[in-house]
Structure 1
């Protein structure tokens, strides 16, 4: 099967051209071997799910790896302990089956009893780990329902199991929670009339300092894999450098540029001419004309958080220099969404593509708003360019017939 560049879902080494992230995976494995519990929290489409797949492939022969996701677990699953535990155990059972583990291990997570609770989940974990080789738990999209007390209770169970290891209890060797938001700093709202408060029992987790962005060398390695399957030769290092210049190594954007060059740019010239710095720039121009799931998500976040939008506009249009301090909620939000990064101790937009797309978006907004304002003013101007006071007074007074009907 011919490989292609992938920008939708998990990347699979046999099907897709991928950067060789072995060094990053090795660093994560070292954390696992230290029995660490931690969170991989990075912006959307930053390669988190693919990284969990690569970890599973590397570790499945040495450990029992439970690799599940909270994707698709609706709010009903978090309404009670019974519904949550049944949903969680069902996902674990299905994953063990897909991974080829025997029926006995699958049955240990089967919920036949009525009225199961988080205590049931705790006991299932202890029984399973007592009867198996070392067990790893990976949970992807863990923040899908994180604004929920049941989720905090679940984290509390994981924390309790972690602490019991000090007393010789056999539990999960390592737990990885993957998502956009850092569950160590959950901002939880328990009741509609209550202010949001920071509260999380995930303080047992170690920091995750690994840079998940792709380096020039990693991008070049992916291009060499592609180049080996073609009937032409490109300067992979030169092209990788140009891709990095526009993306700063954001994995989705790297793959998107490659996908445009390989599949979407018009083939009025030979393909090898596109695999040049000029071709990279041509792909970027086309990408900026269109939208995609990452751009849509970025704009949605700007529209949902007006103060954050003002902060980004200040960086782009006013050139304000803001010290990079993640304790500030707007800066932390920008880092979480992958929009804000750090350079020389100051906040900056993380890459040229984001910077250009946001700048164009804001300019378009302001232009349209100005045009609408001018159109509304035009009705009050006479042909000679002077203000038509009769129309002004008429609009000011309103329709007398409507006024009488309302009295």
Structure 2
């Protein structure tokens, strides 16, 4: 059976291209050897289940431990009924033990206990009966909610001292989307307090499963080349890493979109252009992975972090900022400073989701902005946007939940609507500079058959209360952006968000000005 790029469920070495699972969690065996109770967390679809299952198999196969992986997701439907949650988890443990452990290592009949100590009593009986030290991986632990989660954690904590005499599991890993500090929010506690990891203050380490490195992406794609002979063009693998930031699901989905969907023939190289087209299809298809992230954008905790990031403002990487830790654990932002969206694909998804209502409200026909020679009539776009902004800007700015960056989202949504189908938009959030940079790319063929790519650069800034007019700073920043793009001219959009701003119809205008670098710049004020 030929291997393929996997985007659904755990990876299987015989079926899927994959980075060796144990290489992704190298600290695991050492922590088990220390009798540690620890936490493994990572965003969804990064390979946690694959790594944990492999670690459990390896530990058991070595003959020293009885290690078992299982999911707590079955207990999610129990809600606050912690007895029912414990019974669901114990049922899952028994099923998985029958599938993955030899008979002598499987649990005995569970003892009769009260609901409050059901899990503790069962694990104690199993640890005492098992001829090897017992190692358990509780995956999807944060699927439990309220008192069900608190009860499970408390029972593990109560049994923790007994492990020294082999009267309780030797080592336990709690695995989920979030770090242990966020379990309090899931259990109904105060999510703003990070001073303690209670109710699981026995954890020795908290491990975060990272994204693929550039070398691992090359290794994964190289497996496809080795199996099929199909090569990646120079720069293509590097471009895949740039687009995905190494996020494992995105790395696999991007390649799968190229080799399986509109299949690139095996005798042809996969180019950066193929990957760019695949990226756009993934975004438009709104696959489950991307949809699950998009659903988080309405959460206040996420909004408080992403709003300044979208606006280009600097946000300190404070490890004790609960909102920041939460959004980072979701995988939406990079783990390193400065605070920024994790990768270009997520960046694009975020803006398109947040500006979707704007796109739907734009009635202009995109084809009306195509000139007879098939080039893009960008001056006409700006003129019609200014008229549309006067009519709709105030209403849309006040109606959205990302109101602090509403002008940026509104302009980007309008441009996305009129560019859609013929061109593309590349976005950069200039972190710490208070601006958003956009480049419109419009490939076209003239009636005479000449091919060209038109590029238009736009910088968006806002004028807020207590701040000076950002015009001069914006022109200097735009000069640097145009230098990088090697363009002679561009557009600066400045939106006045001060309470003292003039009426929208009085302040909205399109003029020309000259940048410090001597370029003629189109200035849109709104």
TM class by shorter chain equals: 0.7 to 0.9
Alignment partners' CA distance in 1, 2:309 and 2:86? 46
SS at match of 1:326: coil
The answer for the alignment partner of 1:397 in structure 2 is none
The answer for the alignment partner of 2:339 in structure 1 is 347
| Structure 1 residue 108: Cα displacement | 1.1
Structure 1 stretch displaced more, 35-44 or 255-264: 35-44
| Structure 1 residue 321: Cα displacement | 0.8
| Structure 1 residue 322: Cα displacement | 0.6
The answer for the alignment partner of 1:357 in structure 2 is 349
Rate the CA distance shift 1:289–1:122 in 2: closer, same or farther, 3 A.
Answer: closer
SS at match of 2:27: helix
The answer for the alignment partner of 2:427 in structure 1 is none
Rate the CA distance shift 1:240–1:231 in 2: closer, same or farther, 3 A.
Answer: closer
| CA deviation map 1:229-250 (0-9, x unaligned) | 2144446x84332211111111
Alignment partners' CA distance in 2, 1:369 and 1:350? 29
The answer for the alignment partner of 1:393 in structure 2 is none
| CA deviation map 1:203-246 (0-9, x unaligned) | 111233455211122122222221122144446x8433221111
The answer for the alignment partner of 1:13 in structure 2 is 13
The answer for the alignment partner of 1:154 in structure 2 is 152
| Structure 1 residue 291: Cα displacement | 0.5
Alignment partners' CA distance in 2, 1:219 and 1:23? 14
Task: Indicate yes or no: 2:58 matched with 1:64.
Answer: no
Contact 1:20–1:221 (Cα < 8 Å) also in 2: no
Alignment partners' CA distance in 2, 1:335 and 1:223? 27
| Structure 1 residue 80: Cα displacement | 4.2
Rate the CA distance shift 1:27–1:250 in 2: closer, same or farther, 3 A.
Answer: same
| Structure 1 residue 350: Cα displacement | 0.6
SS at match of 2:52: helix
SS at match of 1:314: helix
Q: Which has the higher strand share?
A: 2
| Structure 1 residue 188: Cα displacement | 4.4
The answer for the alignment partner of 2:204 in structure 1 is 206
Rate the CA distance shift 1:306–1:76 in 2: closer, same or farther, 3 A.
Answer: closer
| Structure 1 residue 54: Cα displacement | 1.6
The answer for the alignment partner of 1:390 in structure 2 is none
Contact 2:74–2:92 (Cα < 8 Å) also in 1: no
The answer for the alignment partner of 1:133 in structure 2 is 132
Q: Which has the higher helix share?
A: 1
| CA deviation map 1:237-289 (0-9, x unaligned) | 8433221111111111001011111111355xx34545233322222122222
Rate the CA distance shift 1:74–1:18 in 2: closer, same or farther, 3 A.
Answer: same
Task: Indicate yes or no: 2:164 matched with 1:172.
Answer: no
Rate the CA distance shift 1:232–1:365 in 2: closer, same or farther, 3 A.
Answer: same
The answer for the alignment partner of 1:399 in structure 2 is none
| Structure 1 residue 364: Cα displacement | 3.3
Rate the CA distance shift 1:227–1:109 in 2: closer, same or farther, 3 A.
Answer: farther
The answer for the alignment partner of 2:306 in structure 1 is 312
- TM-score, normalized by length of structure 2? 0.63
Task: Indicate yes or no: 2:251 matched with 1:254.
Answer: yes
Contact 2:46–2:249 (Cα < 8 Å) also in 1: yes
SS at match of 1:60: helix
| Structure 1 residue 324: Cα displacement | 0.9
**Of residues 214, 228, 231 in structure 2, which corresponds to 1:230?**
228
- Structure 2 spans left out of the alignment, 5+ residues: 364-387, 395-526
| Structure 1 residue 363: Cα displacement | 3.4
Rate the CA distance shift 1:171–1:44 in 2: closer, same or farther, 3 A.
Answer: same
| Structure 1 residue 15: Cα displacement | 1.1
Rate the CA distance shift 1:312–1:176 in 2: closer, same or farther, 3 A.
Answer: same
Alignment partners' CA distance in 2, 1:209 and 1:141? 15
SS at match of 1:223: helix
Rate the CA distance shift 1:126–1:365 in 2: closer, same or farther, 3 A.
Answer: same
The answer for the alignment partner of 1:87 in structure 2 is 88
The answer for the alignment partner of 2:278 in structure 1 is 283
Contact 2:244–2:343 (Cα < 8 Å) also in 1: yes
Alignment partners' CA distance in 2, 1:366 and 1:45? 30
| Structure 1 residue 144: Cα displacement | 0.7
Alignment partners' CA distance in 2, 1:25 and 1:80? 31
The answer for the alignment partner of 1:101 in structure 2 is 102
Contact 2:163–2:170 (Cα < 8 Å) also in 1: no
Alignment partners' CA distance in 1, 2:219 and 2:345? 22
The answer for the alignment partner of 2:295 in structure 1 is 300
Rate the CA distance shift 1:357–1:24 in 2: closer, same or farther, 3 A.
Answer: same
Rate the CA distance shift 1:188–1:290 in 2: closer, same or farther, 3 A.
Answer: closer
Rate the CA distance shift 1:274–1:282 in 2: closer, same or farther, 3 A.
Answer: farther
SS at match of 1:26: coil
Contact 1:232–1:272 (Cα < 8 Å) also in 2: yes
CA RMSD of aligned residues (A): 3.0
Rate the CA distance shift 1:197–1:281 in 2: closer, same or farther, 3 A.
Answer: closer
